[in-house]
Chain A
Amino acid sequence: DPKIIQKPKYLVAVTGSEKILICEQYLGHNAMYWYRQSAKKPLEFMFSYSYQKLMDNQTASSRFQPQSSKKNHLDLQITALKPDDSATYFCASSQDWNSDYTFGSGTRLLVI
């Protein structure tokens, strides 16, 4: 059984639209993260949450907004989508701030 569920697995969006990427973890971890992976860059840190509190935000754009409705839930809302946003978005979690990560299987986003 997957321990971190990301939905959807694939997503095609039109430029200018808005999408929400879902992430739920069933590991009982206290920290959750979003990373982006594209052909141009390695795994790139976006956000970290700990106990549902935003700890770090390294995204340059306010178009990316994390949303945490429950401790084991961290969604990523992306507004005004651009083709450059095309990438695979990985959700991850860890027991605490210095533990290793468990990654979800990713959401592959294509913006056309």
Chain B
Amino acid sequence: AQKVTQTQTSISVMEKTTVTMDCVYETQDSSYFLFWYKQTASGEIVFLIRQDSYKKENATVGHYSLNFQKPKSSIGLIITATQIEDSAVYFCAMREGSSNTDKVVFGTGTRLQVSP
């Protein structure tokens, strides 16, 4: 069964620094899709970035990038030049490519607090 684990419950950083959030996943599939989402204080959930398992190059979108380490089943999210508005809960998620289930499984989330 697929599983996503985020061990960091919360992280506090100073503004303009770089932060890395960890995520490890479990799957029996050779093909899968990894996602990061952000949930703001208002409860809104927003897609940030994705990594397809067959792609070797780490995905980058704006000041978000991924550290995809396939042998370790790890997909870390890196946020550079953090801003106050990056304060939120960040969820890692995975969908198996060939599974007979349609679901995307989410981790428990990491709360990021960015201070001025």
A105 nearest in chain B by CB position: B44
Binds A, one of B64-72, B80-88, B96-104: B96-104
Residues of B contacting A45 in the complex (Cβ-Cβ under 8 angstroms) = 103-105
Main SS class of interface, B: strand
CB of A30 closer than 8 Å to a CB of B: no
Residues of B contacting A33 in the complex (Cβ-Cβ under 8 angstroms) = 104
Binds B, one of A19-27, A67-75, A78-86, A93-101: A93-101
CB of B91 closer than 8 Å to a CB of A: yes
Query: Interface size of A by Cβ–Cβ distance < 8 Å?
Result: 23
> Are A103 and B95 touching (Cβ within 8 A)?
no
Residues of B contacting A42 in the complex (Cβ-Cβ under 8 angstroms) = 91, 106-109
* Residue in A31, A50, A58, A103 whose CB lies within 8 Å of B45: A103
- In the complex, which of the residues B37, B93, B95, B102 has the most CB atoms of chain A within 10 Å of its own CB atom? B102
CA distance A44 to B107 in the complex (A): 10
Instruction: Knowing A43-B91, A90-B45, A105-B43, say if A48 contacts B97 (CB, 8 Å).
Output: no
Give the B-binding residues of A (Cβ under 8 A).
Answer: 31, 33, 35, 42-45, 48, 50, 55-56, 58, 88, 90, 92, 97-98, 100-103, 105-106
